Amino acid sequence: MINAYQGTSVKPETGDGVLFLHKMRGDFGMQEQNDLRFLIAKDKWFSVRAAVLLVHGQDVLVKQAQLQDGTSGLLIPGGAVKFGESGLEAGAREMREELQLDHLDLQMVGITENFWPVEEGVQAHQIMMLMLTKITQQQFDHLNNLDMQSVDLPEGTNLVWLPFDTVRRAVKPAAVGKLLGTDGGLQYGVDRRE
């Protein structure tokens, strides 16, 4: 049990080793054992995330989501990297857990650093490793018929296929959109939201 900062508590849930980080004024989301996602001070939250661009033709699979600031946006599927896990390993695990996809040829295409206010007085800093894979017709059909009750996604998650240009304009963090469609080499971007 970790209880490092005043006003912060970590509560273990029974049975599955899942931890939830809470602050007195709000919830920081699900925290699984060994996730590289934590409060480093009472006003600083840090995470390392793996996100996978699933591409079929000219479309990308995204999650339509309500963001912490109350606006809506598009997110790339993925999740926290675990201690001792490479970005590619994390991307593969997240696709297996969230979308029941295996045997993906993941290619690392970019890294973004993302900064945003989680809530008043608390800032987030996230390192996101961005991977890309082109999926087969069989995988595309699987995703279009996915039983959302059988996967590790929050209730109400809405997955949609959208054209690259639409995703480029609306994806969060915005730095990811700037990396989409760039050719060659590993790309780097920074997104700072006020």
Domain count, the chain: 1
pLDDT in tens, 31-43: 788 999 988 998 9
- Between CA 41 and CA 129 the distance in angstroms is 24
Task: Quote the pTM value.
Answer: 0.82
Looking at residue 182, its pLDDT comes to 67
- Between CA 172 and CA 192 the distance in angstroms is 11
Residue 128 lies in a domain: yes
Looking at residue 72, its pLDDT comes to 77
Report residue 22's pLDDT band, with 50, 70 and 90 as the boundaries: very low
Residue 107 lies in a domain: yes
Report residue 120's pLDDT band, with 50, 70 and 90 as the boundaries: confident
Looking at residue 92, its pLDDT comes to 97
Residue 48 lies in a domain: yes
**155 is in which domain, residue-wise?**
44-114+122-182
Q: What is the mean pLDDT of residues 70-99?
A: 93
**Residue 28 in this model has a pLDDT that exceeds 60:** no
Residue 1 lies in a domain: no
For residue 156, the domain's CATH number is 3.90.79.10
Residue 191 lies in a domain: no
Q: How far is CA 136 from CA 30, 60, 67, 102, in A?
A: 31, 13, 30, 12
What's the order of all strands across the beta sheet hosting 18-23?
8-12, 18-23, 26-32
Looking at residue 147, its pLDDT comes to 84
